[in-house]
Amino acid sequence: MGFDSERQFEQIGDSSSGGISAEKEPLIKENHSPENYSVLAAIPPFLFPALGALLFGYEIGATSCATISIKSPTLSGISWYDLSSVDVGIITSGSLYGALIGSAVAFSVADIIGRRKELILAAFLYLVGAIVTAVAPVFSVLIIGRVTYGIGIGLTMHAAPMYIAETAPSQIRGRMISLKEFSTVLGMVGGYGIGSLWVTVISGWRYMYATILPVPVIMGIGMFWLPASPRWLLLRALQGKSNVENLQQAAIRSLRRLRGPAIADSAAEQVNEILADLAFVGEDKEATFGELFRGKCLKALTIAGGLVLFQQITGQPSVLYYAPSILQTAGFSAAADATRISILLGLLKLVMTGVSVIVIDRLGRRPLLLGGVSGMVISLFLLGSYYIFYNNVPAVAVAALLLYVGCYQLSFGPIGWLMISEIFPLKLRGRGISLAVLINFGANALVTFAFSPLKDLLGAGVLFCGFGVICVLSLFFIYFIVPETKGLTLEEIEAKCL
């Protein structure tokens, strides 16, 4: 089925100038038919981007073990093992600084090179960063490796949810993007587990980073094999970035590969429908930076930025930081080993993220957010009460900790990333997600760095109760601001929710 771009755009028209109106012939259908797809064809477009998330999680787990190994006079295998607390902090946060750089870079290049090439670049930076870190002869080279790896994280956390959202069928989009969060947690558990195996070996910290080297290679090859996002191709066609007919044919081929045999005969028709929907919601106009802060783009940025901000300032980094001391207070024998504690919490996060993956496209985003964050409110006030009133009842702290981790992984953990990937209009999706990722990593750094001085100033009990109050505020934000996007196509989300 061919496509005449001029005739199609004339048909679509501008409602303000007498074109086809939504009342006459709605291009965004009220009840669209489910998208046909092959399960086997739908797996690779999720799997290879999700490897980037797995590498992000692995870095968190492995680094917590690597800092133990690298400070050991007998096991570090280096002469510069006598590191100060500041040096260790720089090692730990080096990837975070790199992620901030990567997010800033993504703001400028994402819509130019596309999601697929951005993920290929991320895989290359992961590989280089891991190699440099593993062979670092001196401290400064180690930090260069950590920052390089972190830039890969920033690019991945920007491009992976976007690529998955734009290629997944709408009826399983929530599940696919939530599985990306599952991959992050799986990587974290793997990092803790592999780190615990190498932590007692001489130069074990080098092996921790070297062990993961095959994964970015597989990720890069996989992304090279996958097609570009059909929606990105169609956006370039609408905005006249290249030959419209060639881009439209490329989008048809891409959609056929992404959906498999189930869509072979209807790919051209679906591409035409997507083009019409994109033009109907104004995606054919060139985006400007100022548009991010006006109209529906501002609403999308408010929703996405608010979710990732609350994701961090409701205490997630701090509660996990405090977990070992809570379990030690409770008298768990395994609490003497911080690595085993981390694996225990990681497994809980993994299970609860799995539950979220199963139910998210059935229950929707808002119910999970409201229910999960309500549980976080209860757990944080319980945790604060433990340190203020009930410090002789450690079971309260343990119950609060487990409740918090479980509820976070049902709500903010996966759904924050899901919502930012689907809420932005296509022409500003790259820049919008980049800003949201910057807010996420910036807030993470702020909470992480401010936790210790605030704990000393206010006490742990008051601090956790303060996080609980912020959680209550986030409930109001979710209830009044965040829309439900379950089952909607990306074009329908733009037309109906913004």
Q: Is the model more confident about 448 or about 488? A: 488
Residue 61: predicted pLDDT: 84
Strands (E), 105-156: none
Q: What is the average pLDDT across 104-116?
A: 83
**Whole-number pLDDT of residue 219:** 97
Q: Which residues of 393-410 are buried (b: 16+ CB within 10 A; e: fewer)?
A: ebebbbbbbbbbbbbbbb
Residue 311's pLDDT is what? 92
Note the pLDDT tens digit of each residue in 112-123. 888 999 999 999
Instruction: Give the torsion sign (CA, 153, 154, 159, 162).
Output: positive
Can you give the pLDDT at residue 334?
44
CB 202 within 8 A of CB 66: no
Say what the pLDDT of residue 32 is: 52
pLDDT average, residue stretch 167-184: 87
Residue 418 has pLDDT above 60, yes or no: yes
Q: Does residue 52 contact residue 122 with C-beta atoms inside 8 Å?
A: yes
Q: Name the most confidently modeled range: 25-39, 110-124, 168-182.
A: 110-124
Residue type, 248: Q
pTM (2 decimals)? 0.81
Residue owning tokens 């790259």: 430
pLDDT given for residue 472 in this prediction: 96
Confidence at residue 479, expressed as pLDDT on a 0 to 100 scale: 94
Average pLDDT, the chain: 83
What percent of the chain is predicted at pLDDT more than 70? Answer: 86
What is the per-residue pLDDT for 448? 72
Per-residue model confidence as pLDDT tens digits over 328-380: 666 555 434 555 666 777 788 889 988 998 899 889 999 999 999 999 999 99
Q: Would you say residue 47 has pLDDT above 90?
A: yes
State the pLDDT at residue 27.
Answer: 42
User: Does the pLDDT at position 211 exceed 60?
Assistant: yes
Mean pLDDT of 238-256: 83
Q: What's the pLDDT at 322?
A: 67
Lowest mean pLDDT among 249-253, 428-432, 475-479, 491-495: 491-495
How many CA within 13 A on the CB side of residue 301? 18
Tokens encoding 249: 């044919």
pLDDT at 17: 38
Of 401, 364, 358, 357, nearest to 379 (Cα)?
401
Mean pLDDT over 374-389 rounds to 92
Residue 459: DSSP 8-state: -
Distance between CA atoms of 360 and 262, rounded to whole angstroms? Answer: 24
